[in-house]
Homo-oligomer: A and B are copies of this chain.
């Protein structure tokens, strides 16, 4: 956080820490009896993702430290408090991609430039690998955090994670998305689209920010700011994704572009147009910066602010 701060180095370091921890669980400490299941889970968890969710959670905790019951801890101790949650977030994210890609949902063959889980391990194993990751995330979160995070904070985090994933969160959003895909008319309702996004992608990204702050026992003001910043960043991230589906290519995306239009999927680009979507991104960027500056001092904002830029600038 000094003047020599380099965001690319920060990203690379953060990713490596998360990656190393995930490798420990899914590669090095695999139970022999369940090697084949761990192989399938590991294939999707250790698949070179951006680790955005983990980084958001870690960054939120560090940014809010001064306003939390953990204010006397070192940055390393804060990281240790939140790392189990950061890893759990990557597990549930991997799970959501596995189930999303299944033939009965998106029927995708390519994910991050590699064959999707069910293409490699078969549908049954992919289904179970997803189920396994979904519950293991909570087992790991609680087991690894018990001695570091206060019980009431950990309960709030575990509850919040399940809520972000459940029927009124991610899964609910997937169902809304499914029931609004493939309609022939070009007229989509912005309220419907926002409901889909809030559930499918938004709830979990919002939780990454809120959860990181909650795990270290941040105050109410910071918790609301992080939740709101998470909503803004999640929406920015989704609009960027929608733009990439139109303007990107398979090599840089690591997945097939143009799928949204093909399947008549509800997207922000379809509703707002390319320019409209880009304008919306700019507004979100301003609002996000403003939320940060009201809750945190200049130094504390830096990484989160960079992460917001990063979520948006993938289109460039």
**Chain A interfacial positions (CB closer than 8 Å to B):** 31, 33-34, 36-38, 41, 99, 102, 104-105, 122-125, 127-128, 130-132, 134-136, 138-139, 142-143, 146, 151-152, 154-155, 158-159, 162-163, 165-168, 171-172, 174-176, 178-179, 195
Contacts and interface: CB of A to CB of B under 8 A. Distances in A.
5 closest Cβ contacts across the A-B interface? A151-B151, A104-B123, A139-B162, A142-B159, A132-B171
A36 B131 CA distance: 21
A155 B139 CA distance: 10
- Give the one of A41, A128, A155, A167 with max B CB within 10 A: A167
Chief secondary structure at chain A's binding surface: helix
B34 A179 contact: no
Given A99-B127, A131-B99, A134-B131, A33 B172 contact: yes
B151 A139 contact: no
A294 to B, nearest CB: 30
B134 A159 contact: no
A90 to B, nearest CB: 16
Contacts of A102: 127
A189 to B, nearest CB: 13
A27 to B, nearest CB: 14
Nearest to A26: B167
Contacts of A163: 139, 143
A136 B175 contact: no
A166 B127 contact: no
A162 B175 contact: no
A166 to B, nearest CB: 4
